Amino acid sequence: MNQEEISRLLPEYAPVIDRVLQRAGVFYHYPDCEDYRQDLSLVLLQWMKKSDSLLHFLLEYPEGKIYQRLLWFLLDCRRKESKKIQGQVEIEKLAEYFGDSKSIADEALAQEETFLACWESLTPSQQNQFWILWDKPKEKQCSRSLLSYYRCQLKKKFKNFYPNL
């Protein structure tokens, strides 16, 4: 689509964006309302630019599909932001409890980096073994001896990164 078609078509979808915001619980008096509106407009603009012509866009993206996809996008954005906020709140609560926020945050970051380095050192089969041990091994119907073998193999790898294990 060319710029002229996009600039003519984009305002026609403003009511759809308003309905998406309302359905997701983002109202005009919320401070993030305009940010979400701009994000949704940008996503819609990207979809328009991907289409070859106005007819292709209208056929590929009927109004119901646009509404649903924009709603999913907005809900994903809000969920990601809430996870970030919850993580920050938990660290702040721990910092208040223990007093020194900088040392706790530094320690948590160091542990995360250590685990990521350890995870990257595992082969794909060892990563699979880890997930079997982590995610309810009884439901996977693994024998006790197999689970014991997995623990021993992974313990050898983890000892390189966690000497007190």
- Give the pLDDT band (50/70/90) at residue 17: very high
Tokens linked to 63: 């109004």
Lowest mean pLDDT among 8-12, 74-78, 145-149: 145-149
What is d(CA 165, CA 160) in angstroms, rounded to the nearest whole number? 9
The reported pLDDT for the residue numbered 38 is 92
The reported pLDDT for the residue numbered 106 is 63
Determine the average pLDDT of the residues in 135-158. 76
Helices (H) and strands (E) in the chain, counts: 8, 0
Lowest mean pLDDT among 9-13, 27-31, 103-107: 103-107
Lowest mean pLDDT among 33-37, 40-44, 134-138: 134-138
Tokens linked to 150: 């997995």
Residue located via tokens 């997930």: 131
- Give the pLDDT band (50/70/90) at residue 70: very high
* Neighbour-count burial for 97-125, b at 16+ CB within 10 Å, e otherwise: eeeeeeebeeeeeeeeeeeeebeeebeee
What is d(CA 111, CA 90) in angstroms, rounded to the nearest whole number? 16
* Neighbour-count burial for 39-66, b at 16+ CB within 10 Å, e otherwise: bbbebbbebbeebeebeebeeebeeeeb
The reported pLDDT for the residue numbered 12 is 92
Please, what sign has the CA dihedral across residues 21, 22, 23, 26? Answer: positive
Q: Which of 122, 89, 94, 121 is nearest to 108 (CA)?
A: 94
Are 36 and 75 contacting, i.e. CB atoms less than 8 angstroms apart? no
Q: Which of 25-29, 68-72, 95-99, 109-113 has the highest mean pLDDT?
A: 68-72
pLDDT digits (tens, 9 = 90+) for 72-82: 999 888 888 77
The reported pLDDT for the residue numbered 66 is 92
